[in-house]
Amino acid sequence: METNDLESYEHNPVLMEQAFPDTELKKWLVEYVGNQHGPSGGEVTVEMIVETISQEFPEFLLAVAEENFFRGYEQALTDFQEAENRKNEEDN
């Protein structure tokens, strides 16, 4: 099982990936973000898209972040309960 600690997790590598316009929405978004950022070489990264959306549509990004937080919290509670159940079974 792979683990990550906060010290080793400084930057999500997915953010540095180039965004490929393989759908109509992505084509529009990559072009829009490219016009906003003017990247050298024309490569638009996921990080540029996130930055643009955070500036121009923060309520969308907040909704996604909140949903991610609550799902993670719910998963942690489920994992904790399962660990408690296993411990109780071992004790009996």
Same-domain check for residues 87 and 65 = yes
Do residue 81 and residue 71 come from a single domain? yes
Of the CA atoms within 13 Å of residue 80, those in its CB half-sphere come to 6
Query: Is 2 part of a structural domain of the chain?
Result: no
Q: Do 67 and 49 reside in the same domain of the chain?
A: no
Please tell me whether residues 41 and 30 are part of one structural domain: yes
Q: What is the pLDDT of residue 7?
A: 54
Residues 49, 64 within the same domain: no
Residue 52, in any domain of the structure: yes
Mean of pLDDT over the chain: 87
Sign of CA dihedral 20, 23, 24, 26: negative
Q: Domain check: are 51 and 65 in the same one?
A: no
Q: Do 72 and 89 have their domain in common?
A: yes
Please give the model's pTM, rounded to 2 decimal places: 0.67
Q: Read off the amino acid at residue 12.
A: N
For Cα atoms 80, 81, 86, give the angle at the middle one, nearest 5 degrees. Answer: 100
Q: Give 49-64 pLDDT, tens digit per residue.
A: 999 999 999 999 999 9
Report the C-alpha gap between 57 and 36 in whole angstroms: 14
Contacts (Cβ under 8 Å, ≥6 apart) of 68: none
